[in-house]
Chain A
Amino acid sequence: MRAFVLAVFAFLYLPIALVVLFSFNAGHHASEFTGFSLQWYGKALSNPFLVEALKNSLFIATTSALLAALCGTAAALGLQRVGVRTRALFDALLGAAIVVPGVVIGISTLVALVQLFAVVNPFLASLWPTDQPPRLSLGYGSIIAAHGLFSMALVTMIVGTRLSSLDRNLVEASSDLYATPLTTFRSIVLPQIMPAVIAGFLLAFTFSFDDFIVAFFVAGAQTTLPIYVFASIRRGVTPEINAIATIVLCASVVLVLLAQWQLGRRKPSP
């Protein structure tokens, strides 16, 4: 069994290792490693389209993860204070946001937004005093909103789990000692859930940064890094993509490890 498990780990990591190795290849050909070089990193980072896509992805991932962390944490706190029915309804919707395949989320958001813009844009135009009214269209906003949906559900789940293992006695003791609810929240609850909030933020960022399929539908004229990489992969495998892939993989690994470390902190003993 040990040998089998070892083989599975090799299966999981060898392909990734290969991509990383060939990103340092001096030669142009994918089949043989001819020497160490950083040229493909240089090429990748001097490609203006790629840098633009990278900047877009960073902006979208940061914004959607921040919004998700705020709204998700608020929702997790709010759900502690409602009845069973409201809770069940929220849980069902949050579960759906996580489990519905990305392709369906992408499509339905696309359809709904296009219909919404078809109504709102003429309306805005009729109200606007000048000839150039603002036009809503697909782009940053729609990607952020669609990514935020999954991310917010994820944050709510992670923070909710932490809240349910929170020591109630501390909260009661605090209010018995005449702390205002806000003080209790700031000095008791917040420090305990903070690692979960940070972990949620990091995972939300990772999700948004890596997502291809949702963004593919709702990106409009914008390009994110995965969309750019997908388009170039379809044109053919180049060592430049290995360099981007290595950067993205490293970033994801660091973020996930940070998230796990945060979740492991101050874990109440069972």
Chain B
Amino acid sequence: MRGSLFRKNLVTTLLLAPAALWLVIFLVLPFIAIAIFSVGERAPEGGYQAALTFAQYANLPARATAFWNTMVLAPIGALACLLVAYPVAYYLALRAPERWRLILLAMIVIPFWTSLLMRTYAWMYILGGRGIPALLAYVGIQDLRLINTPGAVLLGIVYGYLPLMILPIYVSLERLDRRLLEASADLGATPLSTFLGVTLRLSLPGVMTGFSLVMILLLGEYLIPTLLGGGKVFFIGNALVDLFLQSRNWPFGSAIAITLVLVSVVVLIVANRISTRLSGARRVDLI
């Protein structure tokens, strides 16, 4: 019996060991490494020099513009995503004909899994000089600049992250107990108050999941501001690429990365609190 228990534990350990090693070596240790770097100093030739100082954190305001752009455009982008996504999720979950539902859902999932680089590139094409501005020039509107503006970045954000917002909201709406809607109507509620009091309220966990996922990914976004903001609208992600790959100020970059992770954690915790308070937390499958 002892032997079989030992063998059972051995098998469990062997099954979990590769994943555990991978998580420790490529997630936990690297995170500890940048935490250590963030309290270090920049070596004269770039890179890292051991120290224990909070100078890097005190220096964060030097990248205030990147933080400001990110902290303004990420919530606005996530909100814009939400406003577009909600009616779509609502239609898919409650209004779409049964035989169309899966096809439409697949059509939402596919863009999510296709290259963000390629999809953002498509908009460079459309908003760039030979795209919409060229078309508008035909009808007399001259010299309209669309690309490299905050508006273009916002558009790219909505385009890129719309699927990720739709899916969790769809899941929460799909699981909604339809009898509640009937009950609400039977009790004399208007469609609007049924929507506000029942549908919207019960789908809030999905809304919060979608909102926080999109927010967190936006905090680290690099491609959209780079390609559609053209160096004029830069995010924290751009500051990080600059600090690690160009100016090689790794300690300062690490401090920014740690701050970014902390902000993400706060976003997650707040979103989680809100949705557990409103109704039990729900899993969301990304496919």
* Interface residues, chain A, with chain B CB atoms under 8 Å away: 1-2, 4-5, 8-9, 11-13, 15-16, 18-19, 22, 29-31, 70-72, 74-75, 77-79, 81-82, 90, 93-94, 96-97, 99-105, 107-113, 115, 145-146, 148-149, 152, 154, 156-158, 161, 199, 203, 206-207, 209-210, 212-213, 216-217, 226, 229-230, 233, 237, 241, 245, 248-249, 252-253, 255-257, 259-260, 263
Contact = CB atoms under 8 A, between A and B. Distances in A.
A101 B220 contact: yes
A interface majority secondary structure: helix
B229 interface: no
Interface stretch (B59-67, B257-265, B274-282): B257-265
Given A15-B122, A75-B16, A103-B241, A212 B220 contact: no
Contacts of B185: none
Interface residues of B, number: 82
Contact of A253 (B84, B114, B287): B114
Contacts of A77: 15
Interface in B265-287: 268, 285-287
A70 B237 CA distance: 32
A158 B285 CA distance: 8
Given A101-B264, A233-B227, A237-B124, A245 B118 contact: yes
Nearest to A17: B122
Given A103-B240, A237-B124, 17 more contacts: A4-B91, A5-B87, A12-B111, A18-B122, A72-B19, A74-B14, A78-B12, A81-B8, A104-B240, A108-B33, A111-B34, A111-B48, A112-B29, A156-B19, A230-B117, A245-B122, A263-B287
B99 interface: no
Interface of B: 8, 11-16, 18-20, 22-23, 25-31, 33-34, 37, 48, 84, 87-88, 90-92, 95, 104, 106-111, 113-119, 121-126, 128, 130-131, 134, 159, 162-163, 213, 216-217, 219-223, 227, 237, 240-241, 244-245, 250, 253-254, 257, 260-261, 264, 268, 285-287
B15 A257 contact: no
A136 B15 CA distance: 28
Contact of A19 (B116, B125, B250): B125
A192 B48 CA distance: 50
B196 to A, nearest CB: 16
30 contacts: A1-B87, A9-B104, A12-B108, A13-B107, A30-B125, A78-B16, A82-B12, A90-B16, A90-B23, A93-B23, A94-B23, A103-B221, A103-B257, A103-B260, A104-B240, A104-B261, A108-B33, A111-B33, A111-B34, A203-B287, A207-B113, A210-B113, A210-B115, A210-B116, A213-B222, A213-B237, A229-B117, A233-B117, A248-B118, A263-B287
A108 B244 CA distance: 10
